[in-house]
Amino acid sequence: MPSPTDVAAVKSYLMDLQERISRALAAADGTADFREDEWQRPGGGGGRSRIIEKGAVLEKGGVGFSHVFGDGMPPSATAHRPELAGRSFQAMGVSLVMHPENPHIPTSHANVRFFIAEKPDADPVWWFGGGFDLTPYYGNEDDCVHWHQVAHDACAPFGAEVYPRFKQWCDEYFYLKHRNEARGIGGLFFDDLNEWGFERCFEFLRAIGDAYLDAYLPIIERRRHLAYTAEQKAFQEYRRGRYVEFNLVWDRGTLFGLQTGGRTESILMSLPPTVRWAYNWEPEPGSEEARLVEEFLPPRDWLKGAT
């Protein structure tokens, strides 16, 4: 069995996950493929970024793997864990964001990661983190229920309390405090997970990583052929502005990557290709655009009454 200090099994899984997800999404797109860009971090480690652009379905997407290490950690890592100061670290993970061309297809995000901090004559400190979340531009009940059902089913073998716990954490994390507004309709988010022991936590990470395609691909297939207007595309770009705001202002992963000297292009591959802001813009009352904000973004139990 892997030990907490043996990262080889985790790294092998993550690299394979990147391969499987990028291959499946390229097949779903049908016209574009991912290009790979390998990079090295001067302070230690590196990664490989895979980017898809201008596809039939995916306007821009990125699936990145990174494995970085160093002698000390930045303030973003030690702010809530001061006991990590002075330890060497390794951090590895797969992070992805898919920005579709069609505004009827939601943007999706997923991340799975492992972190270990060590120093001589002390037990290592390690944890897993990750999850996946959905950011629709036009609300659809079936999509939201499906997304959360897959999340629920991935968590179910680990205890009945796991899905509601990590679902609530996701709702609270992907929240734009300066807007008093959720980024999307959530999913799962967890961090600092080590309470079940290494083997069980690693099993959970694999369950979440493997569930992403089951959650997203059916939504792509249901929505990819829907017609849309120039006004709907403009609204998608307006809502993408909220995505950018969250990633640059609140996201801990973005801050960690930038503060540890990660590759900026790879860290910011999550940003959409086109985006707009409009001063004090409000949707028309009763419109589908208003319904997104009023009915879909407030946290709710998507599986209530679902079979």
Tokens 């609204």 -> residue: 235
Question: Annotated binding residue at 180?
Answer: no
Separation between Cα atoms, residue 254 and residue 307, nearest integer Å: 37
Separation between Cα atoms, residue 280 and residue 221, nearest integer Å: 34
Question: Annotated binding residue at 109?
Answer: yes
Question: Annotated binding residue at 261?
Answer: yes
φ, ψ at 191 (rounded to 5°): -150, 165
CA 259 to chain centre: 19
Q: Which residues contact 132 (CB under 8 A, 6 or more apart)?
A: 108, 109, 110, 111, 151, 187, 188, 208, 211, 212, 215, 216
Question: Annotated binding residue at 87?
Answer: no
Question: Annotated binding residue at 263?
Answer: yes
Question: Annotated binding residue at 129?
Answer: no
Question: Annotated binding residue at 99?
Answer: yes
Known catalytic residue: 146?
Answer: no
Question: Annotated binding residue at 112?
Answer: yes
Residue pair 54/32 in contact by the 8 Å Cβ criterion = yes
Active-site position among 104, 109, 146, 152 = 109
Question: Annotated binding residue at 262?
Answer: yes
Binding site for a divalent metal cation, residues? 99, 109, 148, 178
Binding site for substrate, residues? 95, 111-113, 261-263
Binding site, residues? 95, 99, 109, 111-113, 148, 178, 261-263
Please list the active-site residues: 109
